[in-house]
């Protein structure tokens, strides 16, 4: 049961654009200077290739702002790549006055790590060790066998964001106190994972986040070892202000995911529930950039003590309505071991003063493929 459910969750999680929307070309024979010919060349943008601890080489872009005092590390959703995100990255850097690094996950865009289903089948059929391991420990084979190390997986994305973080520290001299992590949809997984391991971050933004991969499919009330991106169990280890943005009409990741995560945050910042917003269009709402800019500016000021921010802080503003629409603010865009099964933090959510309507079961296992073809699931 566990192996089947984990496989279904993984099938929902990763949809790299095929073919990729961009290429990477070296400007000279030495290959020191890289650029993406499909987008406008800019002096303030670096195109990089970064090596991860799991052996993949991922592509990243770094957008510089002349007056930046902070850096945003952006983890995108599951059905986009850098070519599609580039314009948004440049726009966010300019509007928020931040440096911004975006990266592609292993197996996305021009990052290495692509694995076709045909090749995967051949590897398993002709590799007796893989088949034996698969019979006894489906989780270990999926996480650590060489067949799976070079494709989009949960643990590859953790290695990917670590490589981007290391680059920011070593190449650009970014301090943890200057760093804001931004995770969109499935990108909330690597974002929360990294944030839970860095105690002095400036802030975190969760854009249409997920409680966990399995909870997108089923309204489960505990965390199972075969689940992926267990944000619900990690968000309590994040010790910096967290902004949650979610659309009220999101049909892919229910609004309850964003609200529940916000309830579990240690340092809550006024959330933004965008009325009528879907899963992939929140950037088009005027209140999106206004609220995000307000958050970044607030982080730039002196940070309150942990005790006062938990008791008073910006949490007191959580019931305010989102900013009214304003046309000028609209973005115009063209060693991993399985965890044992345990009770999760869902019980804390059940005791909330304002109970949130449980999310509906998304899909039964026998309808997954038909649903994906019809719906084009993106998260």
The set of catalytic residues is 185, 250, 279
DSSP state of 314: G
Beta bridge partners of 262: none
Structure tokens at 104: 């592609």
* Residue among 309, 166, 169, 158 nearest 240 (CA): 309
Peptide bond into 119 cis (omega under 30): no
β strands within 208-324, DSSP E: 241-247, 267-268, 272-274
Tokens of 199: 């105690």
- Residue 180, strand partner residues: 72, 203
Distance CA 58, CA 181 (A): 18
CA distance 27 to 319: 52
CA distance 78 to 378: 6
33 burial type by CB count under 10 A (0-12 exposed, 13-18 middle, 19+ buried): exposed
Give dist(CA 265, CA 239) in Å, integer.
8
Q: Are the beta carbons of 79 and 15 closer than 8 angstroms? A: yes
CA–chain centroid gap for 199, Å, is: 19
Contact between residue 71 and residue 57 where contact means Cβ atoms under 8 Å apart: no
Give the angle subtended at the CA of 255 by the CAs of 221 and 334, to the nearest 5°: 135
Burial status of residue 229 (CB atoms within 10 A of its CB: 0-12, 13-18, 19 or more): buried
Shortest CA distance to 83 belongs to which of 19, 128, 126?
19
Residue 177 CB: number of other CB atoms within 10 A? 12
Alpha carbon distance 44, 149 (integer Å): 33
Nearest to 277 by CA among 348, 207, 220, 376: 207
């Amino acid at each position: 049961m566990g192996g089947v459910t984990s496989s279904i969750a993984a099938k929902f999680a990763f949809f790299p654009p095929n073919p990729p929307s961009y290429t990477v070309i070296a400007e000279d024979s030495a290959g020191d200077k890289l650029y993406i010919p499909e987008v406008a060349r800019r002096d303030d943008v670096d195109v990089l290739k970064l090596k991860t601890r799991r052996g993949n080489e991922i592509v990243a872009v770094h957008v510089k702002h002349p007056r930046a005092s902070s850096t945003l590390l952006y983890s995108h959703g599951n059905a986009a790549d850098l070519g599609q995100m580039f314009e948004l990255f440049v726009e966010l850097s300019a509007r928020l006055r931040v440096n911004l690094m975006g990266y592609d996950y292993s197996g996305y865009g021009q990052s290495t790590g692509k694995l076709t289903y045909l090749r995967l089948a051949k590897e398993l059929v002709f590799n007796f060790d893989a088949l034996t391991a698969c019979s006894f420990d489906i989780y270990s084979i999926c996480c650590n066998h060489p067949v799976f190390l070079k494709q989009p997986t949960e643990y590859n994305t953790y290695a990917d964001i670590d490589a981007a973080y290391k680059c920011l520290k070593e190449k650009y001299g970014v301090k943890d106190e200057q760093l804001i992590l931004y995770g969109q949809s499935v990108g909330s997984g690597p974002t929360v994972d990294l944030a839970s391991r860095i105690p002095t971050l400036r802030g975190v933004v969760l854009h249409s986040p997920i409680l966990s991969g399995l909870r997108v499919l089923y309204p489960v009330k505990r965390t199972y070892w075969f689940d992926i991106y267990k944000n619900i169990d990690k968000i309590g280890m994040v010790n910096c202000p967290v902004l949650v943005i979610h659309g009220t009409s999101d049909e892919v990741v229910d609004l309850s995911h964003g609200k529940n995560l916000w309830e579990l945050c240690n340092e809550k910042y006024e959330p933004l529930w965008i009325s009528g917003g879907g899963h992939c269009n929140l950037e088009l709402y005027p209140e999106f950039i206004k609220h995000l800019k307000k958050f970044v500016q607030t982080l730039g000021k002196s940070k309150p003590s942990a005790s006062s921010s938990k008791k008073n802080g910006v949490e007191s503003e959580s019931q305010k309505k989102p900013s009214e629409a304003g046309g000028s603010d609209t973005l115009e865009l063209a060693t991993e071991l399985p965890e044992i099964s345990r009770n999760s933090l869902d019980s804390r959510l059940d005791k909330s003063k304002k109970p949130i309507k449980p999310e509906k079961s998304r899909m039964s296992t026998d309808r997954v493929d038909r649903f994906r073809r019809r719906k084009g699931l993106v998260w």
